[in-house]
Amino acid sequence: EGVRRLTRTAGTFTGESGLIDGLPRAASVLAQTDLAIHRLHRADLDRLADDAALRTRTTLLLTVARTLSERLRLMGEHLLSL
């Protein structure tokens, strides 16, 4: 059985690290109420950057986001080890 670490509210999202860095999920999600979900695959995100100018900005932003995601995962692992 899992341990509740965070409660999300309407309009929020989860899975952003996996979307950005392509690594397996770092957590599981269990809904306490009915909800509507939308799934965004990495290929969908890549298609949003089909325009050359957008591709450059998206590449830059994803590089920064991957770095942040890696740092967050490492910090999470560290905190869980305490």
Q: How does pLDDT run across 34-57, given as a tens digit for each residue? A: 888 888 888 887 777 777 778 788
Q: What is the DSSP letter of 48?
A: T
User: Is the whole-model pTM more than 0.75?
Assistant: no
Amino acid making up residue 43: A
Phi-psi region of 13 (alpha: psi -120 to 50; beta: other; left: phi over 0): beta
User: Tell me, what's the pLDDT at 16?
Assistant: 82
